[in-house]
């Protein structure tokens, strides 16, 4: 038991008095989970990683004081970052995940039988090691011969990747500060466009619809178009443990329309999923009016 004190970089966030609290100071809100024990902590070269046992959400992973995932609700995020993009692409064979070190996204991608190879590039090996120990369900597909795990900077990896070599590129990153800052820059998106084949789909986690529609999401969509993508779609979905309890992914298409998807195949697939359905995908594409207004679309 490493105790319940907060880590050196946790700032306002802490696990005092049996509750882990993440404060979203700029939004005047916070989120707490009742925790019983700190199971693990490590300062990696990139970030401060903690794992807690919670009272009702299973294990909790925290990076630099920010909640990354819990056993109980990570299916929402992992299914929505993987399946809309994979069912939007006409025939995804080559998939790359930047970030995603917990391996939950990788597991979802590998459910698609047509996928021939998935490379995951996370900057921080400690995230994957912690997932292996404390989130065994997320790493259960890591031995799939189609999966390749690399530990490197995603910005650098994309810089060095071949033109027209990837079908679906998934940016499953932390927030746009620290090591993930470069993953939200126009230059990076231009390189993503270059490495995708025509018909390729980029998907990026894009923060809270409630808190960030008029800022991060709007800028990301603008930058995706600047980078050469022809179509853009932001899909909101619930995520109780993230700021505002609501999250989003944004898809961008290279010579393809990301507002349509392979509905017949999605409906016929027999993946054992807990959130993603054809109807959930269609519903997520129907942007609420407040978002449309803030996104200036």
Residues forming the active site? 172
Q: Phi-psi region for residue 17, left (φ > 0), alpha (ψ -120 to 50) or beta? A: left
Residue 250 as a binder of ligand SAM (CB under 6 A): the answer is: no
Reading the block at residue 161, the tokens are: 């990747």
State which of residues 123, 217, 258, 284 lies at the interface with ligand SAM (CB under 6 A): 123
Residue 202 as a binder of ligand SAM (CB under 6 A): the answer is: no
Nearest CB to ligand SAM, comparing residues 251 and 256:
251
Residues composing the chain: 297
Nearest CB to ligand SAM, comparing residues 247 and 256:
247
CA 11 to chain centre: 23
Reduce the DSSP state of residue 169 to 3 states and report it: strand
Using CB under 6 A as the binding rule, the residues of this chain from 8 to 67 that contact ligand SAM are: none
Distances in Å between the Cα of 211 and the Cα atoms of 28, 115, 175, 184, 218 are 11, 35, 13, 17, 11
Pick the piece of the chain touching ligand SAM (CB under 6 A) from 10-18, 111-119, 148-156, 160-168: 148-156
Pick the piece of the chain touching ligand SAM (CB under 6 A) from 93-101, 222-230, 266-274, 288-296: 93-101
Using CB under 6 A as the binding rule, the residues of this chain from 153 to 192 that contact ligand SAM are: 153-155, 172-174, 179-180, 182-183
What binding mask, one character per residue, do residues 262-291 give for ligand SAM by CB under 6 A, x or -?
A: ------------------------------
Taking Cα atoms as reference points, which of 100, 150, 122, 124 lies closest to residue 44?
Answer: 124
Nearest CB to ligand SAM, comparing residues 87 and 247:
247
Partners of 205 in the β-ladder: 249
Residue nearest to ligand SAM (CB): 99
Size of residue set near ligand SAM by CB under 6 A: 24
CA dihedral sign of residues 201, 204, 209, 211: negative
Reading the block at residue 83, the tokens are: 């399946």
Give the Cα separation of 38 and 2 in Å (integer): 6
CA torsion 17→25→296→239, rounded to 10°? -10
Nearest CB to ligand SAM, comparing residues 96 and 123:
123
State which of residues 122, 130, 191, 212 lies at the interface with ligand SAM (CB under 6 A): 122
CA dihedral sign of residues 270, 138, 248, 189: negative
State which of residues 121, 195, 196, 203 lies at the interface with ligand SAM (CB under 6 A): 121
List residues binding ligand SAM (CB under 6 A): 68-69, 77, 98-102, 121-124, 127, 153-155, 172-174, 179-180, 182-183, 205
């Amino acid at each position: 038991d490493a105790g319940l004190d907060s880590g050196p970089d946790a700032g306002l966030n802490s696990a005092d008095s049996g509750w882990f609290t993440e404060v979203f100071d700029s939004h005047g809100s916070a989120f707490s989970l009742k925790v019983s024990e700190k199971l693990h902590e490590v300062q990696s070269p990139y970030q401060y990683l903690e794992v807690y046992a919670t009272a009702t959400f299973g294990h909790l992973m925290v990076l630099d004081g920010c909640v990354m995932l819990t056993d109980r609700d990570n299916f929402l995020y992992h299914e929505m970052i993987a399946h809309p993009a994979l069912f939007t692409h006409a025939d995804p064979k080559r998939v790359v995940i930047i970030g995603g070190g917990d391996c939950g996204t990788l597991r979802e991608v590998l459910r698609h039988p047509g996928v021939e190879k998935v490379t995951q590039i996370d900057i921080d090996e400690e995230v994957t090691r912690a997932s292996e120990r404390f989130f065994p369900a997320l790493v259960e597909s890591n031995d799939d011969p189609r999966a390749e795990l690399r530990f490197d900077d995603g910005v650098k990896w994309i810089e060095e990747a071949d033109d027209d070599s990837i079908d679906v590129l998934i940016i499953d990153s932390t927030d746009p500060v620290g090591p993930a800052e470069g993953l939200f820059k126009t230059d990076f998106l231009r390189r993503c466009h270059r490495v995708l084949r025509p018909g390729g789909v980029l998907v990026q986690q894009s923060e809270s619809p409630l808190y960030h529609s008029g800022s991060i999401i709007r800028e990301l969509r603008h930058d995706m178009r600047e980078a050469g993508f022809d179509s853009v779609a932001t899909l909101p979905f619930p995520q109780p443990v993230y700021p505002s309890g609501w999250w989003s992914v944004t898809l961008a298409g290279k010579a393809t329309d990301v507002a349509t998807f392979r509905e017949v195949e999605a409906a016929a697939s027999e993946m054992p999923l807990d959130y993603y359905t054809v109807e959930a995908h269609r519903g997520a594409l129907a942007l609420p009016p407040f978002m449309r207004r803030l996104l200036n679309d």
